[in-house]
Structure 1
Amino acid sequence: MAEFESTVDYDTFLGNFEGPLDLLLHLVKEAKIEIRDIFVSDVTEQYLKYIRAMQKLDVDKAAEYLTMASTLLEIKSKALLPKIEEGEEEDEGELLVRKLEEYKLFKEASEKLKETENVDRFYKEPDKSVGETKVVYTDFNVQGLVDAFFKLMMRVDEKRIRAVENREIPREVFTVRDRIDFIRATLLDRQYVSFFELFDENVTRSQLITTFQATLELLKLQYIKVEQNETFGDITLILREDRNEEIGEIDEYN
């Protein structure tokens, strides 16, 4: 990885990122490594180099980056100690890797749906001269769904999730197709549903992720439209009146 020149405007550069996870993901891509190799590469040092150089970030944003910096340093120092025995709680390194992998998933999902997002920005009246035309919902940004969902993920209590997932009972497997069918059945019964209502109190990360992917797929296929009243707020999923037929086979999830 190339060294950063002293002429770099670090404050402007950091302003291009949504937060410390976004910066870390950028550095991982630049280094062309797997996320799980982050602690055996120079990514941590490069991250710290940026943080030491920043001067003008506001207090709240700087605190986020500094907290991540301290976490990285602690993980680096613990890497020199004997590894914990199997069965002990997930360490901070594994937790950070998992969060970074999830963030990468959401970023990729958002980028994948940019075209859909751009279409949904504009309202177009049906043009009878060109046959059937789908009227798209106007006031929604796909990134809003990604942001709201990621905030939900960050709010979920880690210990509660581990307690649920580590129970000695057969684990139910949720596929994206299962969650597509579940969302559709719910909407056929109620016409609309709160995004957060799709999760029960014992939600696991696998359920969260597959439900998120199912929602994105239904949005991409224009089976649903969505409303969001405030940034990072809850999302309302609404079944399109003209799309209440059976959802056909989706090769990617079958």
Structure 2
Amino acid sequence: MTEDEAPSRKSGADGLPEVIDQVALARLYGEPLFALPQDLYIPPDALEIFLEAFEGPLDLLLYLIRKQNFNILDIPMLKVTQQYLSYVDEIRSRNLELAAEYLLMAAMLIEIKSRMLLPPKKQEGETEPEDPRAELVRRLLEYEQMKLASQRLNTVPQYGRDFLRAQVYIEQSLQPRFPDVELVDLQDAWRDILKRAKLVQHHKITREELSVREYMSNVLKTLQGRRFVEFEELFQPEKGGTVLVVTFIALLELAKETLIEITQAEAFAPIYVRLAYTPV
């Protein structure tokens, strides 16, 4: 096709072009339609104008350049402008509101072609006059980069389109429930403490009076400000078996008076002691 030739267009009986540069004129139920059928009535709603598939004037212009393998850095403005106007005419015949968006680019193409016909003017400080197509080329290259980037992003799996998020609901109580401490567990813990006390005890016979109330206070002081204390940490084996017995009795009295709570996370797990919760 020469510089002065317009794109190939044939008109049908109803005035619509049959073929536009071997590009689909419309789509019939999703299939490209390159020529209007002569013996089949197609309702207007069944046709989707091919031009509406473009995302804007730059998209259409880039399509025309790439389709014919034009050098984007040396655009043949006459050919591109003529083909672009032919597409815009097709839009205007069907959708005037859609055509308004493309007319501004058409005016820009005509302006660039007019400036190319005039003698170039050098700007101050420039060795060569600026190519009138430079700004258009810059916009086309930027648009193409963004379009390719969006296509690559579209290949990335997307939530709701390619995969769904699995959701599992687990019912949990508001307050953790610990297993009850059995008497056997306390007996076993007590035996272990006695065994360790025998290893460090001193065979010195003395008589001392020990107060259960005093050791109850000591236990409460130890638990004050601490969330959990191990059962064994409340005893002092180095002070002998008598102190251990009094401390154990003090713990039992505190538990009886519901001043402390004795808990265990699971069977055979360490036993913990804490202050009883008192609602405000």
TM-score, normalised to structure 1, is 0.43
Counting strand residues as a fraction of each chain, which structure ranks higher?
A: 2
TM-score, normalised to structure 2, is 0.39
Counting helix residues as a fraction of each chain, which structure ranks higher?
A: 1
Higher relative contact order (CA 8 A, sep 6+): 1
